[in-house]
Amino acid sequence: MSVAVGLGLMEFPFAGAADYWRWVDLCEAGGVDSLWQTDRLVSRQPILECLTAVAALAGRTRRLRFGMNVVSLALRDPVLLAKQCATVDVLSEGRLLPAFGIGSPLGPEWQALDIDTRTRGRRTDESLEIIARLWREESVDFAGKYYRLSAASISPRPVQPDLPMWIGGSSDAAVRRTARYGTGWQGGAEGPAEAGRVVAAIKLAAVEAGRVIDEDHYGAAFPFYFGSASDSVVSGAMAAYAKRTNRDPARYFAIGDETAILDRIAEYVDVGVQKFILRPVGDGASVLAQTRQLIEKVLPQVGMKWPKAA
């Protein structure tokens, strides 16, 4: 078993770039597995653009891996995205972990950019095929409903011979999409029970599609906080989650001490999840303090409880 713990951000919680790089350096030195940036193009809150962020991380770090959680493919040109990912993978010497999805229909981008949300699934499927082929083929011809290519190619191609293609989403369509195109699945707002259902469904669909996804290529994400659920920063975040997802935040957030966080990780591990993106709740100095506690109190115990194979 290979349990890996990464950290993720959606909103930019820092006062400026210096504080962000201080957080990145802490993660690099502290043994965090990977860093992830949520994809959001339109927002009133400060949110970094995910491809630009991982490109900057490639230059700043030497050990950390990094990814996008997850890129909304219907909002981006697949050829440009394939080229961007390949470039970052080359310059980071194979540390990119790309993850793709269709995006939430509640996101502000669809209305702002005048894109029909009903086209998300088909656009995403066409994009996944185009990107995968551009990463491995010399020349790509493609005739779809939304995209048409004639002798398209990119160079250099990714350093990783089989660049991972993690897929997000928990719908039946997302399960089929992961089984057909993905090398892994990355959960979002799903609690342990729902994540377990999705993992089991993907495994069955992959068999039916004649494919196999590695056992350690199933991921989950959840917020964590060393402290009390009554703290204002936590209660506000939990209320927003409940309103957005209609899910119970108590089954998603890990609040308390290191035992609470380890127990939540164990719940996911029990249903077949081995990769994690944990999101520190708070802003600025609080994110740094939360991350430092995770590194000091949780990561060593993860390593002892689920040691990686030599």
> Can you give the pLDDT at residue 251?
86
169 exposure class (CB count in 10 Å sphere: 0-12, 13-18, 19+): buried
* Domain assignment of residue 45, yes or no: yes
Q: Is the pLDDT of residue 164 over 70?
A: yes
pLDDT confidence of residue 14: 96
Note the pLDDT tens digit of each residue in 17-35: 999 999 999 999 999 999 9
Query: What was the pLDDT predicted at 246?
Result: 85
pLDDT grade, residue 208 (50/70/90)? very high
For the chain, where are the alpha helices, taking DSSP H only? 17-30, 50-60, 78-91, 109-113, 120-136, 172-181, 192-208, 232-245, 258-270, 285-293, 299-305
Tell me the per-residue pLDDT of 221-242, one tens digit each, with 9 for 90 and over. Answer: 999 999 999 898 899 889 988 8
Task: Count how many Cα atoms sit within 13 Å of the Cα of residue 194 in the half-sphere of its side chain.
Answer: 18
Which band of pLDDT confidence, cut at 50, 70 and 90, is reported for residue 161?
confident
Q: What pTM was computed for the model? A: 0.94
Q: 90-127, pLDDT tens digit by residue?
A: 999 999 999 999 888 888 999 999 999 999 999 999 99
The domain that holds 233 is classified in CATH as 3.20.20.30
Asked if pLDDT for residue 184 goes beyond 80, the answer is yes
The reply to whether 144 falls in a domain is yes
Look at the chain and report how many structural domains it folds into. Answer: 1
pLDDT above 90 for 185: yes
pLDDT(1) > 80: no
Query: Considering the domain boundaries, does residue 310 fall inside one?
Result: no
pLDDT at res. 310: 58
Residue 159 maps to a domain: yes
In a domain, 65, yes or no: yes
User: Could you list the residue range(s) of the whole structural domain that residue 39 is in?
Assistant: 4-305
Q: What pLDDT is attached to residue 179?
A: 94
| Whether the Cβ atoms of residue 272 and residue 263 lie closer than 8 Å to each other | no
Q: Which percentage of the chain shows pLDDT scores above 90?
A: 82
Q: How many other CB atoms are found less than 10 A from the CB of residue 271?
A: 18
Classify residue 140: in a domain, yes or no: yes
Name the phi and psi angles at 86, rounded to 5: -65, -40
Residue 241 pLDDT: 86
Cα separation, 70 vs 182, whole angstroms:
13
Is 262 among the domain residues?
A: yes
Residue 274 above 70 pLDDT?
A: yes
In a domain, 163, yes or no: yes
